[in-house]
Amino acid sequence: MAAVSHLKNKRDAKLREGIERMLARCGSAGGPIPVQGYMDVLAGHGLQLDDKETARVTRMSDDDGFMDRNEFIEYAKKSHAVKEWLDAEKSKNIDKAELAFKAIDKDGSGFIDVSELSKLGGGKMDKSKQEALMNKLDKDGDGKITLEEFRLLFK
């Protein structure tokens, strides 16, 4: 039972983080949420509110076109448009270089060393190729390839 609770809490935390990212893009700066900013963020992904959500946002907004932050967060947790936006952001932000980097960085240290590099290609890369690749990618010469250095392969 505790595991289910933990997963729910983790899922709720990720949803809250996503909503906070959206709020930052709306221009809320920690205060009320501008309705136009919210609409612009959705439109950036080709999304629109359905009639039900439009009515709810209209009810939540004041005469100046702002919504209460806490009320918006509760609305956003159940909003189809917000969930679609979060999904679109997630798929947009898939970083292929980072995925490949993490696959090679087996120990999760945040860098690739020569021993991890040697395992590329099923461990069949000879020493001279390993050294050449390390020299090409390790721009600062510290014997470690950072994610930023690794990204150069993808440019």
Has residue 146 got a pLDDT over 80? yes
- Domain locations in the chain as residue ranges: 2-92, 96-154
The confidence score (pLDDT) of residue 116 equals 85
CB 88 within 8 A of CB 137: no
CATH number of the 96-154 domain? 1.10.238.10
Q: DSSP 3-state assignment of 114?
A: helix
Has residue 5 got a pLDDT over 90? no
pLDDT, tens digit (0-9, with 9 covering 90-100), for 55-98: 999 999 999 999 999 999 999 999 999 999 998 887 765 677 88
Q: Could you give the dihedral angle defined by the CA atoms of residues 77, 82, 88 and 91, in that order, rounded to the nearest 10 degrees?
A: -10
Region 99-103: mean pLDDT is 84
Distances (CA, A) of 28 to 19, 31, 136, 154: 12, 5, 44, 35
